[in-house]
Structures are given as C-alpha cells and as structure tokens.
C-alpha cells in the first residue's frame, strides 16, 4: 500500500503554489473589477455665477444656488466640494429687460452630470445709475418761533447714491437732523445722512458718504435767503440774429419770510421782456415780480438791470455756374478758360444772402493773365467781392482753372 503524501509536501509542491497563485490573482481581479463598476449618486448645492452682465446694469432677485445631481465612484464623489462644479448663466449682449436663460453646468472629468435643478432661471436686468442728491437740513422737533438757521454749511453738499433706476426713483431727499441742543452748542457737527424714500427698495441701494459735516448759526428774527434772478424772455430777434445771452445785474437777490415758505422759493422772476424783432442789443432796467406767496418779501432793490446780447445768425448759399471773366494784358489778344464757370459758396446773414441777385452779381470770379507768356496755364480763380463785407466767400470750386491762349 502506497504511503499518503504529507501535508507539508503538498503545500510546498510547485503545482500547489501555481494553483494558489492563480486563485489569488483571480480574487484581486474580481475585487478591482467590481469596485470599478460600482457607482453611486450625490446631490449638492452649487453657487450660480452670472457672466457678462452689461455695464451700468444690475440683476433683480437672481437665483443664488442650483442643485446638481452627480454620478460616479463613491470615493470620488465623497471628496468633491461644491467649488469643483461650475454652474453659470451667460448674459452677454443683453439689454435692460426680462429674460429666461439656460443654466450651464460643468462637472469634473471623473464624474457624470445627471441633473440640474432648475435648468433655466428668470432674470431681470435693470439700469444701474449713480445720482447726486443734495443734503437737506431738518431740525429734530422743529425750531421755536422767532428762530432760524443762518450761515448753513454742509460738507459735502451732495451725496452719491447708487442703485437701480427703479429704486432711485423712490428717493425723495437726503437729510440730516440736528437737535436744538446741537444748534445752541454751535460748532461743527458730524451727522448721519438719512435717505427719505416713498417705499422700500427692491434691490440694494448704497450711498456715500454716510456722514457729513454741518455747521450753522441759530439766529433770531425773520429768516432770509439768497435766490437767483430769472429774466422772463418772450419772442425772438429778427432773422439775422439769435439770442446770445441775458445778463442780469445783480444776479441774486435776498428774500425773507417764514422758514417753511422760504424752502419753496427757488428764484425771483423779472417782469416779462419782449425781444420780438429786435435787431440790436438791449440794456434796460426791469422791475422784479413779487413772490407768489405774500408771506415772502424781497429785501432791498425792487428792480435789476438786464442786458440782452445778440449774435449774428449766418446762412450759406451756393451760386452755381458763375461765368469766369479774364482780365489783364498779355502777348496774346484773346483767352478762353476751362471750365468756363465755377461754383461759389457765400456766407452771411439771411437778409443779405437772400437779397443777392444772381443776374447782377456783386461777387464776380475772374483770372488775371497779365504777363502770362505760356499758351496754356493753370491759374487760381480770384473773386471780386463788392458786398462791402456783408457777405463772405467760403469756397470756390474748382479753385484753379486752365487759361488757353486763342492764337487763331
């Protein structure tokens, strides 16, 4: 009877080792293959970027985040951060208005993009503007009777407000509100600026500066205010002139009255000045019109000096095919010109230009052939202007012509 092989001999035999090697290799292959084919999904919130938003526009209520669903190996998905996925909306070439745009998502190469929610977003582009608003002073709880603010100084006088055109239309004013105790103490104050609006803003509105410097003198008596004088002009000069300027002296007058009434007074008008068909400058003394509110009075002079300045109004006219004359003595008895006529553009006031008679022209083109020896020569066209400077020759076309001696 044959002896049974020992276990150690079997384990150490080459055949057994070859079989075990194949089994182990097959197990590793199966594990690796299985791990590669196993996939899972993951959902995450990703910030939404808006690209190429046109200048001077802003987005109203845009979607900030979208949900993306990704598929891939568990190890890869678990290591992903929201920054690894890019979600964007392109607003290139769009103007002010409402749009529905597609969301574009870009995932890393090791994962697949399964879904994006939402796939489209609704946006509204609004005009974004920058506006200067003057700062007004409103005394907290008001001023007692008989007191008013004099020598008011605000630095800076205006604040810069930035926001959508729709929101900025809701702004009524910008104001500071010192207290009566602040005014009595005197000196320079640093006060916060408050935006007064008719309703709440829909988007972000910013303004600078947030605080301004304020100083004023608390005075007794009737409040006074300096306002500009407005010259009331009707009509227009004769056709040869246009209104150049209206100079008022003095340009500013002082009015007095209750503080609440003075706030509404922005100018003082003169009596009406009729400049219909005037042909020269006017220098006159014109009375001032009393303010509409009877509680507001003009302090000082009741009239101003008004200078009405005019400037000539010119037009141009084309004189077509005006015959060119030949002047001067030369060795040849006769000359001819090519071309025989030119076009002349003149400039002047309408009355002079319109009265120009083409049959008896006071503007005559000519060439001078004095001492010309050549039989053919190009010479400049000259113009004799007999309008005594009332008309100006602007252009001659052509400016040079050819003179040809007639020797036959």
Question: Could you give the number of structural domains in the chain?
Answer: 5
pLDDT at residue 113, as a whole number = 87
Asked if residue 312 lies in contact with residue 299, where contact means CB atoms within 8 angstroms, the answer is: no
Is residue 397 located within the same domain as residue 322?
yes
Q: Report yes or no on 126 lying in a domain.
A: no
Q: Report yes or no on 196 lying in a domain.
A: yes
Angle at 148 between CA 144 and CA 153, to 5 degrees: 135
Q: Report yes or no on 124 lying in a domain.
A: no
pLDDT at residue 343, as a whole number = 95
Question: Which among 153, 152, 148 is positioned nearest to 219, based on CA atoms?
Answer: 148
Q: Report yes or no on 123 lying in a domain.
A: no
Is residue 260 located within the same domain as residue 212?
no
Q: Report yes or no on 229 lying in a domain.
A: yes
Is residue 31 located within the same domain as residue 45?
no
Q: Report yes or no on 341 lying in a domain.
A: yes
Last residue of a domain, which of 205, 220, 235? 220
- Cβ-based neighbours of 259, under 8 Å, separated by 6 or more: 143, 148, 149, 223
Is residue 108 located within the same domain as residue 188?
no
Asked if residue 90 lies in contact with residue 68, where contact means CB atoms within 8 angstroms, the answer is: no
Sheet containing 104-106: which strands, arranged edge to edge?
104-106, 86-90, 40-51, 65-72, 112-117
Is residue 208 located within the same domain as residue 173?
yes
Q: Report yes or no on 125 lying in a domain.
A: no
- Mark the ranges of the chain whose per-residue pLDDT is less than 70: 1-12, 16, 22, 25-37, 61, 358-359, 408
Q: pLDDT tens-digit profile of 291-324? A: 988 889 999 889 999 999 999 999 999 999 999 9
Q: Which residue range forms the structural domain that includes residue 184?
A: 131-220
Return the CATH number at 283: 2.170.120.40
């Amino acid at each position: 009877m044959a002896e049974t092989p020992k276990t150690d001999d079997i384990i150490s035999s080459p055949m057994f080792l070859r079989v075990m090697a194949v089994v182990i290799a097959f197990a590793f292959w199966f594990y690796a293959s299985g791990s590669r084919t196993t996939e899972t999904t993951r959902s995450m919130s990703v910030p939404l970027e808006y690209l190429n938003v046109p200048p001077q526009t802003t987005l109203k209520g845009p979607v900030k985040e979208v949900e993306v669903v990704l598929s891939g190996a568990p190890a890869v998905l678990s290591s992903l951060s929201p920054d690894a996925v890019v979600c964007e909306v392109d607003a290139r070439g769009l103007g002010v208005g409402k749009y529905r745009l597609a969301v574009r998502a870009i995932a890393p190469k090791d994962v697949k993009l399964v879904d994006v929610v939402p796939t489209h977003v609704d946006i509204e582009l609004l005009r974004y503007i920058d506006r200067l608003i003057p700062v007004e002073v409103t005394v907290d709880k008001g001023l007692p009777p008989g007191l008013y603010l004099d020598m008011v100084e605000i630095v800076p006088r205006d604040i810069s407000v930035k926001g959508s055109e729709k929101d900025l239309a809701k702004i009524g004013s910008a104001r500071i509100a010192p207290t009566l105790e602040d005014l009595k103490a005197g000196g320079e104050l640093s006060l916060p600026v408050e935006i007064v609006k008719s309703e709440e803003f829909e988007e972000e509105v910013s303004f600078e500066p947030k605080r301004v410097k304020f100083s004023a003198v608390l005075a007794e008596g009737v409040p006074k205010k300096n306002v500009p004088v407005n010259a009331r002009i009707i009509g227009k000069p004769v056709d040869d002139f246009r209104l150049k300027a209206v100079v008022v002296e003095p340009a500013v007058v002082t009015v007095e009255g209750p503080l609440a009434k003075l706030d509404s007074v922005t100018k003082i008008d003169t009596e009406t000045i009729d400049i219909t068909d005037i042909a020269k400058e006017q220098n006159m003394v014109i009375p001032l019109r009393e303010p509409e509110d009877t509680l507001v009075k003009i302090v000082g002079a009741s009239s101003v000096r008004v200078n009405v300045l005019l400037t000539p109004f010119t037009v141009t006219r084309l004189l077509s095919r005006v015959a060119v004359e030949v002047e001067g003595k030369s060795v040849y008895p006769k000359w001819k010109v090519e071309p025989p006529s030119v076009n002349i553009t003149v400039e002047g006031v309408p009355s002079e230009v319109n009265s120009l008679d083409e049959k008896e022209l006071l503007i005559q083109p000519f060439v001078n052939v004095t001492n010309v020896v050549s039989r053919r020569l190009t010479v400049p066209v000259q113009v004799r202007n007999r309008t005594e400077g009332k008309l100006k020759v602007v252009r001659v076309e052509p400016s040079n012509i050819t003179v040809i001696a007639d020797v036959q």
